[in-house]
Chains A and B, each alone.
Chain A
Amino acid sequence: MTALRVPHRHASPAASAGEPADSGPSGTVGPPPAAGRPGPAPAVPSIEFETVSFAYPDGTRALAEVALRIEPGESVAIVGQNGSGKSTLVRHLNGLLRPSSGRVLLDGWDIRPIHVARLAGLVGLAFQNPDRQLFAGRVSVEVAFGPRNLGVCGAVLEERVGAAMEEVGLAAEAGTNPYDLGYSRRKLLALASVLAMRTPILVLDEPTTGQDARGVARVRAVVAAAAAEGRTVIAITHAMEFAAESFERVVVMRDGRVVLDGAPDVVFAEAAWLELRASFLEPPAAAVAGARLGLGSTPTAAAVVAALGRSRG
């Protein structure tokens, strides 16, 4: 079971009442809706990492003064070598980890005093390894667990569960035991169980790992749909093509720091390759081809085609 889908009974509105973070300026970080009613979808808060550092108990320093602001509705890919701090960073968003120093703010409010059960309604995090997340005996029960703990029930719950299973292509597997699914479909199930929570912020840790072309297409569609709804989508990925094609912003991490941050055509432009390679990353093939042909920065195949069209037309 994951801490991000903590049962609602652990949330204690009384305990947090009166704390400054209890309700944000727009009510985004405000109290949860009464049980049984999902209430209106909460507004999408901005995210700010304010010089956040983090060291694990064994002394490993995973984040070093990260300063990063993500506006509501942005879609952001976080890339970097294994061990560069990507997963550590996103685990600060839902309170699984708390900064050793610095602050994480949602809509300007420090999340430190906010219970993880409350954060769970705002930030949905799909783990890299689905087996750390799945526990139910049936696919539909697994998907229903998160939203149920956010107080969703009845027909609304059913609709959400159905829609989430449909979105990842598991509608026909509602009664299947999650562990009878192959790894790639367990991973899609973990994604569905987070989608069903309809959190304003969606965080995906290496969602395309182990997926075949159809699975990758489903993940791309999930990202596009969430972005189109105005939700914030953050994905950690090693797939540079996916980062360049599906996200409007790419953040490159190295040794716990943000070393590049910008639109794909900035981060994958030839001028940034030295920094990319110092981070043990390679620009997408389309970017390399575009640079060789003198087409400027072309991070995607579509950008290459557009630049070729311009240069010929």
Chain B
Amino acid sequence: MAIELASARYRYAGSASAALGPIDLRVEEGRVVGVAGANESGKSTLCLVAAGLAPGVIGGKRDGSVRIDGADAAALKPHELAQRCGILFQHAATQLSHSTATVFEEVAFGPCNLGLRIPEVVERVWAALRAAGVEALAARDPGRLSGGQAQLVALASVLAMRPKYLILDEPTSELDPAGTTLVADALTRVAAETGAGILLIEHKTDVLARIADEVIVLERGAVALSGPAAAVLADPRLSDLGVEPPAAVRLERAVRAAAIEWSAALAEAVR
């Protein structure tokens, strides 16, 4: 089972040119597929298309196919999509409902709308808050959180839905290094324990190096590089595509550029 894009192409309503595609992509259960690329290369559009929100909710025109567990994403109703794909938007403010008094209620909002029994909602909310490391914020007003806290609460609200696929648009952009590590570990755990498939947009290639199985790099809406994470992240074309290579790769390049041998000891030291 998987999210599968085949020759998918998308243009926004009112736009003359395609923002995305043609693109082929497969996100299998239990796998983490990383997406990198320069700003405005189509990463966020890919999220909307893979989640079935474009064109299903926001309009526009799609060609090619987008299938979620074999079903055409365009044919799925919003509540069916919501139970299959959880999407975390780039900005937490877009995500939060602005209709709840506490973080706990905010995270409970989705599961309640699934019609789950209260004990299960409560169990899911605490598990999600724990996974995102924000249990301590449960009683806080969601409208009065820092950027990093809001991002973690938004992530918890997606995790509480326990979707089969998670589509995450820069989930660590506002986070400090500890928060970034926490999210990376949480996603690895979610993929391993629940078998969720994860599509992860991320500028921080060190995060992708750590948790992604595969990585694709977008350029002007199309796939410029794809393959196993380690190979793509060490590709010499990465910088030209507007993506900063992981720290270990940059260090290796600097050493080689100085005509110093890249020894096994050096390679071991940057692992």
| A210 touching B176, Cβ below 8 Å | no
Which of chain A's residues 263-295 have a Cβ closer than 8 Å to chain B?
Answer: 280-282, 284-286, 288-289, 292-293
A148 on interface, CB distance cutoff 8 Å = no
Residue contacts A-B, CB under 8 angstroms, 19 given: A83-B149, A184-B39, A212-B37, A213-B239, A238-B176, A238-B177, A238-B180, A280-B178, A281-B177, A281-B178, A282-B177, A282-B181, A284-B247, A292-B268, A292-B269, A293-B269, A301-B255, A304-B254, A305-B254
| A308 touching B173, Cβ below 8 Å | no
Within 8 Å CB of B90, what residues of A?
A: 183
A185-B39, A301-B254 known; A211-B176 Cβ under 8 A: no
Within 8 Å CB of B258, what residues of A?
A: 305, 308-309
**Number of chain B residues close to chain A: CB under 8 A:** 40
A285-B251, A309-B260 known; A209-B177 Cβ under 8 A: no
A82-B149, A238-B175, A308-B260 known; A212-B266 Cβ under 8 A: no
| B251 touching A80, Cβ below 8 Å | no
B16 on interface, CB distance cutoff 8 Å = no
| B260 touching A212, Cβ below 8 Å | no
Question: What is the bound-complex CA distance between A87 and B255, given in angstroms?
Answer: 36
Question: What is the bound-complex CA distance between A82 and B147, given in angstroms?
Answer: 9
Q: Is the interface of A mostly helix, strand, loop or mixed?
A: helix
Within 8 Å CB of A210, what residues of B?
A: 39, 170, 173, 203
Question: What is the bound-complex CA distance between A238 and B175, given in angstroms?
Answer: 8
A282-B177, A309-B258 known; A301-B243 Cβ under 8 A: no
Residue of A nearest to B90 (CB): A183
B40 on interface, CB distance cutoff 8 Å = yes
Question: What is the bound-complex CA distance between A83 and B90, given in angstroms?
Answer: 21
| B247 touching A211, Cβ below 8 Å | no
A81 on interface, CB distance cutoff 8 Å = yes
B250 on interface, CB distance cutoff 8 Å = yes
| A213 touching B243, Cβ below 8 Å | yes
Q: Which residues of chain B have a CB within 8 Å of any CB of chain A?
A: 37-40, 90-91, 146-149, 170, 173-181, 203, 206, 239, 242-244, 247-248, 250-251, 254-255, 257-258, 260, 265-266, 268-270
| B270 touching A289, Cβ below 8 Å | yes
Identify A285's interface contact among B174, B247, B265, CB under 8 A. Answer: B247
A214 on interface, CB distance cutoff 8 Å = yes
A40 on interface, CB distance cutoff 8 Å = no
CB B43 to nearest CB in A, in angstroms, measures 10
A158 on interface, CB distance cutoff 8 Å = no
| A304 touching B177, Cβ below 8 Å | no
Which of chain A's residues 62-90 have a Cβ closer than 8 Å to chain B?
Answer: 80-83
| B173 touching A82, Cβ below 8 Å | no
Within 8 Å CB of A128, what residues of B?
A: 147
| B38 touching A304, Cβ below 8 Å | no
Within 8 Å CB of A238, what residues of B?
A: 175-177, 180
Within 8 Å CB of A241, what residues of B?
A: 247
Within 8 Å CB of B255, what residues of A?
A: 301, 304-305, 308
Which of chain A's residues 114-151 have a Cβ closer than 8 Å to chain B?
Answer: 128-129
Question: What is the bound-complex CA distance between A214 and B146, given in angstroms?
Answer: 27
Extra inter-chain contacts (17) besides given A216-B244, A301-B250, CB under 8 Å: A80-B176, A81-B176, A184-B40, A209-B173, A210-B173, A212-B203, A212-B242, A240-B177, A241-B247, A281-B176, A281-B177, A285-B247, A288-B270, A289-B269, A304-B251, A305-B258, A309-B258
